Chains A and B, each alone.
Chain A
Amino acid sequence: MNALYASRRRRDFSIRVLCYAATALGLIWLALILFSLFSNGVAGLSWDVFTKMTPPPGTTDGGLANAIFGSVAMTSLGVAIGAPLGMLAGVYLAEYGRYEKLSDVVRFINDILLSAPSIIIGLFVYMAVVKPTGGFSGYAGALALAVIVVPVVVRTTEDMLLLVPNTLREAASALGLPRSLVIKRIALRAARAGVITGVLLATARVAGETAPLLFTSLSNQFWSVNMGKAMANLPVTINAFVQSPYETWRQLAWTGALLITLAVLTLNIVARVLGAERTQK
């Protein structure tokens, strides 16, 4: 009897140790990645990064100004297109069609699009936009990002609206408010913090997306605010510079990677803090 007891305890102990080890492993990976990003990226941080263009082939001197601008422009446009669409669809799923069969299908497809490989989105936009319009463009890049934003926002909007108590809607309806205003003025307002969290998370998700931009916006070594043409952006620039033979180009890649990661992590943390505030109320 005692032997059995001891063996049960031994097994429990070894599994516990394995769980601790697994967690340590996960945290060490995060620490290692952040450490190498900072130690390699900070060295290259200077004003040049923000003021100079990406270096043309054959030269070593330059910054990331055009890439940073392109990334910000495409991400904002992508979110500006994708987020409203996603919100409207989310409103339909939560408010009008909550119990419809059709909504079930939409939800299911949306969940699949949520984790569809992003390179497929790139291929889709290449075939649907780049080829017919005859060239790579910032707009195509932004559209590809918008396609990724939509499912994320649909999901969070619906989830957040479902948390709004029905009595709130019924009270508003009883006062004679038409349905659309019940949704816009009451339900969406009650769910506002959560919906904004969703948009922020979607922004964080697309800010670092590389695969869908590879053959939609391509890249550009000059300063360009024309989104109708190929446009530089941070992820594709990093992708090109990582494998370059020049030390300075690799340095720029590290610095760019650090900037993206900082932006994405900040967005994530802000979104989570916002979300946490909402649940505490």
Chain B
Amino acid sequence: MKSRLSPEGGPVTDIAMKQAPLGAETAQRASALASFKLGDRTFYWLTRSAAMGVLLLLGGIIVTLFSGAWPAMQAYGLEFLWTSRWAPQLEPQPILGALGPIYGTLLTAFIAMAIATPVGIGVAIFLTELCPVTLRRPIGMAIELLAGIPSIIYGMWGFFVLAPFLTNHFQPAMISLFEGVPVLGTIFAGPPSYLSLFNASLVLAIMVLPFITAIARDVFATVPPMLKESAYGLGCTTWEVMKNVVIPYTRVGLIGGVMLGLGRALGETMAVTFVIGNSFRINGSVFAPGTTISAAIASEFAESDGVHQSALILLGLLLFVLTFFVLAAARLMLRRLERRAGG
């Protein structure tokens, strides 16, 4: 319902004041009304400028990153995007290219999403359809707690616990399994390494899983119960209800949720920095060390200067633009579903 109050409170008219004779009481009343009016104005402009501040924040981020990246843009131009060499120490002019980090960012995010999406949606299906009501809250809360754990804890756990396990058990098995197979043999080529794109992807997958689950669950909750019940009434199995009713109804929202997870995976820093190895060389194998944009910035920025620093900021700008579009698409999709659910 639209509120009829005007933004600034509108002109304050007081019938009592007009009728009363001039006197101390009237003056007091007038001053009280004036202070109300002033308070109204101030509060309105205060909140309005805070809201504008959010826009300024985004503008500020873009402008400062752009100005910081300008020297590198001038030095390398568009070639920056497809140069794979990263040699900041080279004299007189360092050779810097973004291909390695871009490759690592996209690859780790892709593998992470390929693992986390089915698992996350599976958990959401479990929570909405299969779980006994008494367990629904505790399990949902546990998954949400998983989302609350700071990313450096994931990174550290990945470094001390997960990476050694994967490297000693999982990687050798995969390498010997696919040895000699044409394409897969290259993707899963040895030797096993503690610091690898694959280990980083798995840590990322564990990190984005709760985000995907949380959104998928919320999105599933928007399906009108009548639709599901009619399908069940026709004799559908749980899976058939999910496949033919719930998932088609929520498709836009689900894709939005997955893209939101993708946005996280692309920009995540601390969860990958420890286990990725910070190597700018592109090697076809997922078990080889690599780097991502954020990991490169995290490990090199503090000791960088000049054009090297500017190139790192340019990498940051690229990452920001990339995630901006992914997140914008995700939000638009989620909003479409929201609107349908609301009206």
Contacts and interface: CB of A to CB of B under 8 A. Distances in A.
Contacts of B160: 36, 40, 242, 250
Interface in B215-270: 237-240, 242, 260, 263-264, 266-270
A178 B47 contact: no
B90 interface: no
A238 B150 CA distance: 12
Given A214-B302, A272-B141, A115 B61 contact: no
Tell me whether chain B's interface is mostly helix, strand or loop, or mixed: helix
Given A22-B122, A166-B1, A36 B54 contact: no
Given A128-B64, A179-B5, A96 B327 contact: no
A111 to B, nearest CB: 5
Given A27-B142, A33-B153, A117-B266, A12 B238 contact: yes
Interface string B192-220: 00000000000000100110010000000
Contact of A19 (B125, B151, B237, B270): B125
Contacts of A88: 46-47, 50-51
A179 B239 contact: no
Tell me whether chain A's interface is mostly helix, strand or loop, or mixed: helix
Contact of B54 (A110, A123, A239, A257): A110
Contacts of B3: 98, 166, 169-170
A175 interface: no
B157 A36 contact: yes
Interface bracket on A: 35 or more
A78 interface: no
Contacts of A238: 152, 156
Contacts of A166: 1, 3
Interface stretch (B72-80, B279-287, B317-325): B317-325
A51 interface: no
Interface in A1-50: 8-9, 11-12, 15-16, 18-23, 25-27, 29-30, 32-33, 36-37, 40
Interface in A63-98: 85-86, 88-89, 91-93, 95-98
Interface residues of B, number: 96
A210 B57 CA distance: 20
Given A242-B274, A264-B148, A112 B328 contact: yes
19 contacts: A16-B238, A23-B131, A30-B142, A33-B146, A36-B161, A37-B157, A85-B50, A106-B51, A112-B58, A117-B266, A119-B316, A120-B61, A123-B64, A178-B39, A184-B43, A214-B302, A260-B153, A268-B148, A269-B145
Interface of B: 1-3, 5, 7-9, 12, 36-37, 39-40, 42-44, 46-48, 50-55, 57-58, 60-61, 64-65, 67-68, 118-120, 122-123, 125-127, 129-131, 139, 141-146, 148-157, 159-161, 206, 209-210, 213, 237-240, 242, 260, 263-264, 266-270, 273-274, 294, 297-298, 301-302, 313, 316, 319-320, 323-324, 327-328, 331
Interface of A: 8-9, 11-12, 15-16, 18-23, 25-27, 29-30, 32-33, 36-37, 40, 85-86, 88-89, 91-93, 95-99, 102-103, 105-106, 108-113, 115-121, 123-124, 126-128, 147, 150-151, 154, 166, 169-170, 173, 178-184, 204-205, 207-211, 214-215, 218, 235, 238-239, 242-243, 250, 253-254, 257, 260-261, 264-265, 268-269, 272
